[in-house]
Structure 1
Amino acid sequence: MKLGSILGILMLAAALMYWEWKSSKEKRARIVSAGITVIAAVIGIILLFQPRLPGPTQIVKLVFGSVDQLMK
């Protein structure tokens, strides 16, 4: 079941990268879009195995929560 999900994520990421690569003329934009797509695919695969990982808002609160307390 997870193997099918992983293959699905990878196929969608590859299709997105191919479509963005063909539609963009600038090399820097191609690299940035490919990098963001790869990072999103890796995060998706990690979340398949560890669904209880904290979300982005919880991580920001953890990192900047102490700064907020210091500024008060």
Structure 2
Amino acid sequence: MKWLAAAGLCLVTGLIIWGEYRSAKERKARLAVAFIACSALVLALILIIHPELPGPTEFMNLIVGGLSRRLGLE
């Protein structure tokens, strides 16, 4: 079932890249759209395959957690 979700995600990402690529006039804009979409696709595929990985909120809590405890914000 995970592979079906991954295939659907790849299809949707491909459609987004195709539509945005056609509407963009400059080469830099086309590359930026493709790079951002492919980066998001890779992250989404990793989270589909390994859902137990921590998310970005937990990462930020790890980084800022000690500072917020010292400032008494928790």
What TM-score, normalized to structure 1? 0.80
Gaps of 5+ in 1: none
Identity of aligned residues (%): 33
Q: What does residue 32 of structure 1 align with?
A: 32
User: What SS is found at the alignment partner of 2:63?
Assistant: helix
One-letter identity of the residue aligned with 2:28:
R
SS in 2 for 1:45: helix
Q: 1:7 matched to which residue of 2? A: 7
Instruction: Give the letter for the 1:24 counterpart.
Output: A
- The residue correspondences of 1:1-72 to structure 2 (distance < 5 A) are 1-65=1-65, 68=67
Shift of 1:2: 1.6
| Structure 2, gaps ≥5 residues long | none
- What is the root-mean-square deviation in Å for CA atoms of aligned residues? 1.8
Name which one, 1 or 2, has greater alpha-carbon Rg: 2
Distance apart, 1:3 and its partner CA: 1.7
1:29 and 1:52 map into 2 onto residues whose CA distance is 34
Return the offset for 1:50. 1.2
Distance 2:32 2:65 in 1: 30
